[in-house]
Amino acid sequence: MRKKYIGSLFLLCAMLVFVSCNSEDNSSVFVDDGNLANLVANNQIEIDNVIACASGSDEDANQIIAYVYPREGVRDIRFYETENAEVDKDDYENYTQIDLPAEDFFNGYLKKFTRTTEEEKWIIISFFEGDVLQLSNPIRLKHKTIPTEFTDEVAIDSSVPSMPVFEWEDGAVEENAIYFQVVSTDEEDFLSGTYTFERNFQYYVLDNVVLNITTELPPALSAGVPYGFTLMGVSEDNWVNLFIQKSFIP
């Protein structure tokens, strides 16, 4: 009887240890609840290594479009937003994932998220690169207070057709910190993407380029062939004040 009792007691203790271990394991399991702070706490992160910005829409005053450059091999591109613009933009607890499709822009070289919201907010774009969670700087939505200005006003000097020069002026808002230029084919295939502090760019001369997302040497442009030029004037908080799009034939 004594041996049977000891055996039963041993079995009970073993079961309790097993249940206890399982409980501890379950408590450490990461549950992705859509909160950015939770995702950050459970991953190795790198900040300020996602190129992203946001603009308003020329079709809907309540619509914003966030743009991101997805480097080759990245995965799980996400859109996070705060409840409003008054919260602490640097506190990841304030950011919740919004399930939006990452749509192609320039046939997939860039991606974009389209979001309808009547309130200005902060947003962050994230993706995984390998096992590292990459985060953009906070982007301030200003579609109500500083609507994006859409225009086609850009001077294009095609005296050298293969290397045209683009020059532009600031629009109504003059707080642009940097300018992003894309030269594309008429079918919107990406040729080059560059950033300058100056309000001019020559294709494909990099003398005044401060950031370049062109991964391969682009072809020289051909005379008589239609192309596209896109420009974004971006403020320090990554809001697009000026958006220029123009077709041209060098």
Same domain flag for 126 and 154: no
Alpha-carbon gap, residue 190 to 67, rounded angstroms: 14
Confidence (pLDDT) at 212 = 98
- The string of pLDDT tens digits covering residues 156-165 is 999 999 999 9
Confidence (pLDDT) at 31 = 77
Identify whether 14 is part of a domain: no
| Mean pLDDT for the chain overall | 91
Same domain flag for 88 and 136: yes
Per the listing, tokens 């309808």 go with 116
Identify whether 24 is part of a domain: no
Same domain flag for 69 and 108: yes
Nearest CA to 90 out of 33, 37, 146 is that of 37
Same domain flag for 126 and 72: yes
Identify whether 4 is part of a domain: no
Same domain flag for 208 and 132: no
Strands 227-234 and 240-248: antiparallel
Alpha-carbon gap, residue 145 to 162, rounded angstroms: 40
Confidence (pLDDT) at 28 = 52
The reply to whether omega before 67 is within 30° of 0 (cis) is no
Stated pTM of the model = 0.88
Looking from the CA of 221 toward its CB, the CA atoms found within 13 Å total: 29
CATH of the domain at 188: 2.60.40.10
Residues of the chain with pLDDT under 70: 1-30
Is the separation of the CB atoms in 180 and 193 below 8 Å? yes
Identify whether 195 is part of a domain: yes
Alpha-carbon gap, residue 29 to 16, rounded angstroms: 20
Domain boundary pick from 140, 171, 202: 140
Identify whether 133 is part of a domain: yes
Is the separation of the CB atoms in 145 and 131 below 8 Å? no
- The string of pLDDT tens digits covering residues 26-56 is 445 667 899 999 999 999 999 999 999 999 9
The count of domains in the chain is 2
Nearest CA to 123 out of 104, 109, 142, 105 is that of 142
Same domain flag for 133 and 86: yes
Same domain flag for 40 and 133: yes
Report residue 47 as tokens. 């900040």
E strands present in the chain = 44-47, 52-56, 63-68, 75-81, 96-98, 103-105, 110-116, 122-129, 132-135, 139-140, 149-151, 155-157, 165-167, 178-185, 190-196, 200-202, 209-212, 227-234, 240-248
Same domain flag for 117 and 157: no
SS3 breakdown of the chain: % helix, strand, coil, rounded to 5?
15, 40, 45
CA angle 144, 150, 155 (to 5 degrees): 145
Host domain of residue 156: 149-248
Same domain flag for 157 and 243: yes
CATH of the domain at 122: 2.60.40
Is the separation of the CB atoms in 151 and 171 below 8 Å? yes
Identify whether 20 is part of a domain: no
